[in-house]
């Protein structure tokens, strides 16, 4: 730990010691800080968003290991998170995919921070023409570490098997139209509001392209101090009855 901690500024070490419990978890944050060059504020954000739980020890669902060669498969798995947290998006009850997509694009810097290191944003509603028909990818990225295109599709509801089939097609089109000889196979990521893990595993089993399925949260839970200040449902109902 002493050798590893010397790789980052003292203020970062203090933050990790103060906010992270457990030696293994602390060492992980130290290594990630050194690898990614996180500022003090970014480090705090990553700790408070539970990055270790979402990336290092999350039970991730993908077919990367069977569809990608090593070491790209291991790196792709390590890059995934579950869930992704987009707490910089103002929540609306009736949000649709396009609303979330536009909100993500409006704050690309925070989106790239959440996705992780190496991502370059190429566009949203990215147009592909396949045999004279037009198709539009929700979000398209290139990852410099993975050396491949990354296609992200957003779904506001629960994961459905047909989503994997649609993304499989998009990946085939990207590999056929955009991918160069020195690029690795493109990777797909389905971000859904919720998922049945077993359904997702079966859906990916026979897909020919590398696809991962993760959940996302538009807003994180309210801080405990703030939640205590808000009235409960019972308080509101009592107030209505008195009125």
pLDDT value of residue 5: 73
pLDDT value of residue 197: 96
For residue 56, give the nearest of 94, 100, 26, 16 by alpha carbon.
26
pLDDT value of residue 135: 98
- Give the 3-state secondary structure percentages of the chain, helix then strand then coil, rounded to 5: 45, 20, 30
pLDDT value of residue 239: 46
The encoded tokens of residue 238 equal 């009592």
d(CA 197, CA 178): 31
The encoded tokens of residue 243 equal 């009125």
d(CA 55, CA 76): 11
pLDDT value of residue 2: 55
- Which tens digit of pLDDT belongs to each residue from 142-153? 999 999 999 999
With a cut of 70, which residues of the chain have pLDDT below it? 1-3, 220-243
CA separation, residue 191 to residues 33, 138, 223 (Å): 26, 11, 25
The encoded tokens of residue 231 equal 């009235």
d(CA 228, CA 236): 14
Backbone φ and ψ of 65, nearest 5°:
-65, -30
pLDDT value of residue 226: 39
- Which tens digit of pLDDT belongs to each residue from 153-162? 999 999 999 9
For residue 62, give the nearest of 166, 214, 235 by alpha carbon.
214
pLDDT value of residue 238: 53
For residue 97, give the nearest of 133, 127, 115, 124 by alpha carbon.
124
* Topology of domain 59-222, CATH: Trna Endonuclease; Chain: A, domain 1 (3.40.1350)
């Amino acid at each position: 730990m002493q050798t590893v901690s010397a790789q980052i500024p003292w203020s970062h070490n203090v933050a990790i010691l103060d906010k992270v419990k457990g030696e293994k978890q602390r060492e992980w944050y130290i290594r990630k800080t050194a690898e990614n060059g996180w500022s003090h504020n970014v480090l705090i954000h990553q700790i408070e968003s539970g990055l270790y739980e979402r990336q290092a020890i999350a039970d991730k669902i993908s077919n990367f290991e069977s569809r990608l060669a090593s070491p790209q498969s291991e790196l792709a798995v390590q890059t995934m998170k579950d869930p992704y947290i987009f707490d910089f998006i103002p929540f609306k009850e009736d949000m649709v995919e396009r609303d979330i997509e536009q909100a993500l694009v409006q704050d690309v810097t925070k989106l790239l921070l959440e996705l992780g290191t190496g991502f370059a944003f190429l566009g949203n509603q990215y147009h592909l023409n396949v045999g004279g028909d037009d198709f539009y990818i929700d979000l398209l990225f290139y990852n410099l570490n993975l050396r491949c295109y990354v296609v992200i599709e957003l779904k506001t509801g629960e994961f459905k098997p047909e989503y994997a089939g649609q993304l499989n097609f998009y990946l085939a089109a990207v590999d056929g139209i955009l991918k160069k000889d020195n690029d690795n196979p493109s990777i797909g990521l389905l971000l859904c509001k919720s998922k049945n893990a077993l359904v997702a595993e079966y859906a990916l089993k026979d897909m020919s392209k590398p696809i991962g399925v993760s959940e996302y949260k538009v807003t994180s839970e309210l801080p405990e101090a703030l939640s205590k200040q808000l009235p409960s449902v019972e308080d509101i109902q009592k107030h209505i009855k008195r009125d």
